[in-house]
Amino acid sequence: MTIKRRTVLAGMLASGAGAVAVGMPVARAQSAPFKIGLLTVKTGPLAQGGIQMEQGIAAFLKEKNNTLAGRKVELLVADTGGNPAGAKTKAQEVIERDKVNVILGPLAAFELLAITDYVRDNATPLISLAAAEDVTQRKANPFVIRPSATSGQCSHVMGDYAAKDLNLKRVATISDDFAFGHEQISAFQRAYEDAGGKVVKKLWPPLVTPDYTPFIAQIGKVDGVFHGFAGSNPVKFMRSYADLGLKGKVPLLAGWTGMDDALLKSLGDEAVGVLSAAYYSATADTPSNRRFVAAMQKDYGVLPGGYSAGMYVAGQCVEAAMQELDSKADDRKALAEALHRVALTDTPRGAVKFDQYGNVVGEVFIRRCDKKDGQLVNTVIKTYQNVSQFWSYNEREFLANPVYTRDYPPAKNLEN
């Protein structure tokens, strides 16, 4: 007699059902672990943010004892090397070989753009940290949610604040010459000029620039400077800005990567007084943030910033979706849909919910960098509630326009 595999399976299922019927411990506790694949960057110039991403999700899983919604969780970490080709390879690896249930990451916008179609074709949910606007806008992907922010989400706020609260009339912008920089600056410019300000100069140093002096020398007479640098570039830029005597004379504003809390330990006096708009602040007084900051201090001796907080929140989203789906969490399509429905009241960055395109709606903080007891801290001076990726604009009109680029929307007030 041959025993068909299907027969055995049926038998196992039947006995499982029997166990539930007589009130035995739920069978899913012994089922295969829920697999989370983390696409991060552990080598090369982007490693700084990538390492923080891994620390953030590791801190979350440790707090939860590697168990989410009653089920064991396995974390698989893949190093993309911080480039689109590497992201694609590693995405294939975690989806096809490891068969992960959900992907967290990647870090950089061009990495996300390289894999967004691939995860949709393979029906694997992805929780992004990367900011590429269109992935949750004109080319929204039903398998992607983003609990961090689009490139423009924080700088819209900064633009509004610069015009209305700071009353700056004329501002120069400077940022890395790549998609994240373009999107940030264009969003700043749009919100700032709509609130009455004028962007009179836009400077675009290449991503790799050994010395920012020639660019800073071109800034000229303005009331303020907004910078959108990322990675290690803010450190270099702000030192040169202070060295050339502009600090204290021309106020400096920054995006979230430019003054991330995790970057503070690399900065010195040149950063004091810099204002920034960010979706996360290590000083936020929520229960989960207190736990998170304490865990990061204890395990890694660091103050967490947006990269690690973004991944902690991503972990919370996974947990919430698993709780909703219960035993159906292995259905990847259902998981993606459940992730879109997640609404959390307590995360390190405050309350979080998602719009229909999968992008977060949450708080954005304006912070001022102060020196307290010899340490730099970003003190929150204003909080904007329920900030969406569309800011105060009408969603339909916003989406009818092209995506933010280096030259869109056009700057009409440039001076030489």
235 binds other proteins (CB under 8 A): yes
Site string for other proteins, 62-101 (x = CB under 8 A): ----------------------------------------
> Of 18-26, 227-235, 313-321, 403-411, which segment contacts other proteins by CB under 8 A?
227-235
Note whether 40 binds other proteins by CB under 8 A: no
Q: With binding defined as CB under 8 A, does residue 371 bind other proteins?
A: no
Residue 3's Cβ-count burial label (10 Å; 0-12, 13-18, 19+) is exposed
The answer to whether the CB of 69 falls within 8 A of the CB of 322 is: yes
Choose the binding region for other proteins from 15-23, 131-139, 142-150, 210-218 (rule: CB under 8 A).
Answer: 210-218
What value does the CA radius of gyration of the chain take, rounded to a whole number of Å? 23
- Residue 135 CA to residue 357 CA, distance in Å, equals 8
The residue from 91, 203, 311, 342 that contacts other proteins (CB under 8 A) is: 203
51 binds other proteins (CB under 8 A): yes
Q: How far is CA 275 from CA 18, 82, 95, 255, 260, in A?
A: 62, 28, 41, 9, 11
Using CB under 8 A as the binding rule, whether residue 244 contacts other proteins is answered as yes
CA 40 to chain centre: 12
Q: Does 232 bind other proteins (CB under 8 A)?
A: yes
Stretch that binds other proteins, among 230-238, 272-280, 332-340, 361-369 (CB under 8 A): 230-238
- List Cα–Cα distances, 96 to 89, 92, 100, 124, 164, in angstroms: 10, 6, 8, 10, 51
Separation between Cα atoms, residue 41 and residue 167, nearest integer Å: 40
Query: Is 317 within 8 Å of 147 (Cβ atoms)?
Result: yes
Tokens of 326: 């219960």
Of these, 266, 345, 386, 401, which contacts other proteins (CB under 8 A)? 266
Q: Which of 31, 167, 213, 405 binds other proteins (CB under 8 A)?
A: 213
- Does 205 participate in binding other proteins (rule CB under 8 A)? yes
User: Whole-angstrom Cα distance, residue 411 to residue 398?
Assistant: 17
User: Which range of residues in 18-26, 125-133, 211-219, 383-391 is near other proteins by CB under 8 A?
Assistant: 211-219
Q: Is 217 in the site for other proteins (CB under 8 A)?
A: yes
Q: Do residues 194 and 141 make contact, with C-beta atoms less than 8 angstroms apart?
A: no
Smallest distance, Å, CB 380 to other proteins? 23
Which of 15, 30, 43, 405 touches other proteins (CB under 8 A)?
43
Residue 23, interface with other proteins (CB under 8 A)? no
Does 248 sit near other proteins (CB under 8 A)?
no
Residue closest to 119 by CA, chosen among 149, 139, 148:
139
Stretch that binds other proteins, among 117-125, 203-211, 251-259, 402-410 (CB under 8 A): 203-211
Q: Is 37 helix (H, G, I), strand (E, B) or coil?
A: strand
Mention every residue, 6+ apart, whose C-beta is less than 8 A from residue 81.
41, 43, 44
Residue 332 corresponds to which tokens in the numbers above?
């990847």
Give the span between the Cα atoms of 10 and 7, in whole angstroms.
5
Stretch that binds other proteins, among 19-27, 124-132, 257-265, 283-291 (CB under 8 A): 257-265
Among 26, 267, 272, 361, binds other proteins (CB under 8 A): 267
50 binds other proteins (CB under 8 A): yes
If the CB atoms of residues 50 and 358 are measured against other proteins, the closer one turns out to be 50
* 374 binds other proteins, rule: CB under 8 A: no
Judged by beta carbon, residue 51 or residue 57, the one nearer other proteins is 51
Q: Using the rule CB under 8 A, which residue among 64, 72, 239, 353 binds other proteins?
A: 239
185: Cβ contacts below 8 Å, ≥ 6 apart: 155, 173, 175, 202, 226, 228, 406
Neighbours of 393 (CB within 10 A): 16
Kindly state whether residue 208 participates in binding other proteins, applying the rule CB under 8 A: yes
Cβ closest to other proteins, residue 44 vs residue 142: 44
**Distance of closest approach, residue 261 Cβ to other proteins, in angstroms:** 12
Q: Residues 124 to 183: which contact other proteins by CB under 8 A? A: 177
184 neighbors 217 (Cβ within 8 angstroms)? no
Which residues in this chain contact other proteins in the complex, by CB under 8 A? 42-51, 177, 203-206, 208, 210-211, 213-215, 217-218, 231-232, 235-236, 239-240, 243-245, 262-263, 265-269
